[in-house]
Amino acid sequence: MLVGILGPPKGMSEGRVLVTPRQAGLLDHGGVRVIVESGVGRAAGFEDADYAAEGASITASREQLLGESDLVLSVARPEPAECAVVRAGSTLMGMFHVNEDAPFVEAAVARGANVVGLERAQTDDGHHPFRERMAEVAGVVCAQLAAELLLRHRGVLLGGVAGVPPVDVVVVGAGHLGRAATRAFSGAGATVLVFDRSLSALEAVEREGLRRVQTMLAGPSEIADAAAWADVLIGAVRLPDGPPPKVLSAMQGHHGAVWLDLSVDEGGCIQESRPVYRAEDAYVIEGVLCCPVPNLASWAARTASRIGSALLAPVLLAAAERGRFQLSAEPWLVRGALS
């Protein structure tokens, strides 16, 4: 069995990998050949030499990797034209955030390949391991990003100091992403108000016993009122199927506020959101600093890579024992199939 570790297409901002060098070494010892695109792990602190030391082969040819691998692992989706060389019966697996009619999916399926979106993969008890764990990473990163933007643009500390109160943060959405952001902001000393339409989701926040955190059932007027005074607003609205609704406009914020739409990779929950990939590219609408970053977990590339590699480890080691990767043997991955 040959497992290929593919990097993102040129120009795409993505530093995560789904197999760390250590995991590549375990696969090599299990009789699995691993081929790695040169430079794929550099943003996560994994050099080509680290993979080579664990028995992996290094290639600069994406065509070779896609054409020879039985299983291709890539956080970012390949270009449709690149899929013209994939092998019939092979599997492309990654956090693609696309639907079945995406051009690269259609191109791969036309070649007889399987495509699996790991963000869709679902366990028997209803959990989405990849989506939930990456949401936890993104939630922590967003608090650090908000703190950086507040300090750089307003000279304000997120948590305040004696005699100066902390900033007021509003989190819209109490799913895994919203709860992770709430924990991070609370830990940094901010005051946090969390909105959600689900009472059970808000109860989950309350059970954590976080300091300076309050919850409120979400309604259009309640969210709009909070948006008018929030120093930081986090859009963390996710729906099980389909894009999130537009629940706010940046026009409703106050001058100097920082808004982060973490739903932007699925369409965004703030009307004016358009993706940016660096803090320096944040833009201002009526005095509100907007920084909607997709795939924010990729900013913590090494941490996120270790999580992804750990989640896939049992799958890959089981495939090594069988001598081949068999999608039907992993029902939770079958639920993420795009083909």
Give the residue numbers annotated as catalytic, written as ranges.
Answer: 97, 265
Contact between 153 and 123 (Cβ < 8 Å): no
Beta strand 283-285 pairing with 288-290: antiparallel
List, in sequence order, every residue forming a beta bridge with 33; answer none if it has no partner: 2
334 SS3 class: helix
Q: Which amino acid is at 180?
A: A
List, in sequence order, every residue forming a beta bridge with 191; answer none if it has no partner: 168
Query: How far is it, in rounded angstroms, from Cα 49 to Cα 38?
Result: 10
Q: Which of 333, 304, 291 is nearest to 136 (CA)?
A: 304
Q: Which of 9, 45, 123, 124 is nearest to 302 (CA)?
A: 45
Contacts of 10 (CB under 8 A, 6+ apart): none
Contact between 138 and 173 (Cβ < 8 Å): no
Q: Which amino acid is at 192?
A: V
Helix (H), strand (E) at residue 5: strand 2-5
Contacts of 52 (CB under 8 A, 6+ apart): 58
Q: What is the largest CA-CA distance in the chain?
A: 66
- Beta sheet of 283-285, edge-to-edge order: 213-217, 191-196, 168-172, 232-235, 258-261, 288-290, 283-285
